[in-house]
Amino acid sequence: MPQPQRPPNEPQRGEIWIVNFNAPVTAKAPPVGTPRSQWPTTGDEINKVRPAVVLNVNAKWERNLHIVVPLRGWQSGFVTKNYFWIVKLSPDGINKLKDESGADTFQVKSISRDRFRHRIGVLLPDQLQLIADTVAFCIGFSLPK
């Protein structure tokens, strides 16, 4: 029996998508003249179109939201400065990243499905697990004893 096809805009756990982190979702930046206090992002928050890893489990939710970890360009200084929360990802034929990247686990976010543009690739299970474990560490999560 053939498997049902999922909608093309239905991000799945472990996939890498191009995501618009700023609003409105159809623009690269808020309209000219919008006070900074009304932008959807501020300070050190991610505020542009960039790749992100889908982190939430695949389930039917009552919301059109997905939990993501944004990706950024890799810098050697992340290691020397001990930025443990940025997980290094090297490009390959599966994730289809163009450059060395870092999953910024301190920027984990819930975002609307409307912010997703297109799928790039997918992570290997070990890479996804390392990102999830690093998010858990950043929020102080530990398994019950």
Whether the CB-CB separation of 135 and 68 falls below 8 Å is answered with no
In this model, does residue 131 exceed pLDDT 80? yes
Q: How far apart are CA 50 and CA 71, in angstroms?
A: 7
Average pLDDT, the chain: 86
Domain annotation covers residue 30: no
* Domain CATH number, residue 105: 2.30.30.110
Q: How far apart are CA 18 and CA 140, in angstroms?
A: 28
Question: Which ranges in the chain belong to alpha helices (H)?
Answer: 77-80, 125-138
Domain annotation covers residue 5: no
- Structurally, how many domains does the chain consist of? 1
Total-model pTM: 0.81
Domain annotation covers residue 105: yes
Domain annotation covers residue 8: no
What's the confidence (pLDDT) of residue 26?
A: 55
What are the pLDDT digits (tens) for 47-86? 678 999 999 998 887 888 999 999 999 999 999 999 999 9
Domain annotation covers residue 34: no
More confident residue, 35 or 111: 111
Query: What are the CA-CA distances from residue 110 to residues 7, 65, 100 (Å)?
Result: 20, 6, 24
What's the confidence (pLDDT) of residue 60?
A: 80
Q: Which domain holds residue 56?
A: 15-25+40-138
What are the pLDDT digits (tens) for 82-108? 999 999 999 999 999 999 999 999 999
